[in-house]
Amino acid sequence: MTPPHLNDLPIRALTMDDLRLCADLSEDRGWLREEHKWGLLLAAGSGYGVDAPDGKGLAAACVVSRYGGTHAEPELAAIGMVLVADRYARQGLGRRLMTYVCDDVLKGIPLTLHATPYGRPLYEELGFETTGRAEMLRGDFQAADTPGTYGTTRVRPARAEDLPRILRLDAEVFGSDRTHMITRLPAFADQLIVAEDRGGDGTLTGYAAAWPNMDTHVIGPLIAQDTATAQSLVTALAQGTDRPLRTDVDVRHEELLAWLKDRGLDSVAFNAVMTRDIPGLPGDWTRRWAPLTVAAG
Ligand SMILES: CC(C)(COP(=O)(O)OP(=O)(O)OC[C@H]1O[C@@H](n2cnc3c(N)ncnc32)[C@H](O)[C@@H]1OP(=O)(O)O)[C@@H](O)C(=O)NCCC(=O)NCCS
């Protein structure tokens, strides 16, 4: 029997039962396994994939995180973890999976993704435009000459009763409700902290999380009203870990990027922030410093 052509293989929904297969696919492509992240994305979002015709795991996968509106008609959807197994690359599978997700599942819905240079040509063909850039930084944070906090910021661990305020601030800054993602942070992240103004009325001026990804802690989301608040949040998170930090900062936040580099973080890569059916990301970029993960916005 001739094996089915790659273009005839069915695209199916991925569930938490596919976690190991997703991590295997990451590894196949030379990425890290990132099971913790896949777990969040499959639980809070929807995975789509194609089983490999040779029976060895997945040939392709991606995940979609929906925000605001309803599941069928979200206000915004973020696509991530777009991967094709090495042995099936350059045979049209990535295009087919992305066309299905963008033009069938999410037709007419404003879309966003962070693109590597490999993915970008395909996304451009599908109608995505580059509307921003994020710089990926990684390294051991040197706190030596860093004051505990900057400006008038006070930083403390988030408490259960902070969650409604975190959700309100997040929706305002992100531009869409992501309750189903943010309410998972207390379990997903190793640290979740909030910032307030000393002497203020208790209004949150920012919040941030650090979550474990292989041997690093990723800082994201990083939401802050100004540079001093962002610096205070990063400093507090760095104090809570011995691992190298990783974060993906909007390149417009030059002051924070320079400050992070001065403290030992190195530039690893630039990703394009791409959008479709929307001129740019909604919300307030001035208070949005780093995404939860580039795979989910
Ligand atoms: C990017 C990726 C998903 C594309 O999947 P694919 O099945 O290999 O791609 P397709 O065969 O459908 O090709 C679609 C287009 O993508 C582009 N493309 C794919 N692989 C490429 C490569 N190695 N270099 C440059 N462009 C490439 C081309 O424009 C291609 O069109 P063409 O073949 O007509 O020139 C796949 O290469 C991959 O998994 N890469 C590693 C992970 C990654 O970077 N993912 C993107 C995250 S944003």
The single-letter DSSP state of residue 2 is P
If asked whether residues 160 and 64 sit together in one domain, one would say: no
Q: Does 1 fall in a domain?
A: no
If asked whether residues 140 and 265 sit together in one domain, one would say: yes
If asked whether residues 148 and 262 sit together in one domain, one would say: yes
Q: Phi then psi for 140, rounded to 5 degrees?
A: -85, 125
Rounded-to-integer distance, Cα 120 and Cα 128, Å: 9
Query: Can you tell me the mean pLDDT for 4-16?
Result: 91
SS (H, E, C) 145-166: CCCCCCCCEEEEECCHHHHHHH
Q: Which of 90, 93, 95, 271, when mutated, tests ligand 1's pocket best, judged by the most ligand atoms within 8 Å of its CB? A: 90
Which residues does 282 contact at the CB level (< 8 Å), separation at least 6?
Answer: 75, 76, 110, 174, 175, 176
Check if 115 has its Cβ closer than 6 Å to any atom of ligand 1: yes
If asked whether residues 197 and 146 sit together in one domain, one would say: yes
Instruction: Tell me the whole-structure pTM to 2 decimals.
Output: 0.94
If asked whether residues 160 and 83 sit together in one domain, one would say: no
With bands split at pLDDT 50, 70 and 90, how would you rate the model's confidence at 82? very high
If asked whether residues 63 and 147 sit together in one domain, one would say: no
Q: Which of 27, 96, 113, 118, when mutated, tests ligand 1's pocket best, judged by the most ligand atoms within 8 Å of its CB? A: 118
Q: Does 118 fall in a domain?
A: no
Comparing 116-130, 135-149, 195-209, the range with the smallest average pLDDT is: 135-149
Q: Does 123 fall in a domain?
A: no
If asked whether residues 140 and 104 sit together in one domain, one would say: no
Count: domains in the chain:
2
Q: How many angstroms does the Cα of residue 89 sit away from the middle of ligand 1?
A: 7
With bands split at pLDDT 50, 70 and 90, how would you rate the model's confidence at 120? very high
- Residue-averaged pLDDT of the chain: 95
If asked whether residues 86 and 147 sit together in one domain, one would say: no
Q: Does 274 fall in a domain?
A: no
Q: Does 67 fall in a domain?
A: yes
Query: Can you tell me the mean pLDDT for 193-197?
Result: 95
Q: Which atom of ligand 1 is nearest to the CA of 85?
A: 39
* Domain encompassing residue 62: 6-109
pLDDT of residue 6: 83
pLDDT of residue 1: 55
Q: Does 57 fall in a domain?
A: yes
CATH number at residue 190: 3.40.630.30
Q: Does 185 fall in a domain?
A: yes
Q: How many angstroms does the Cα of residue 131 sit away from the middle of ligand 1?
A: 20
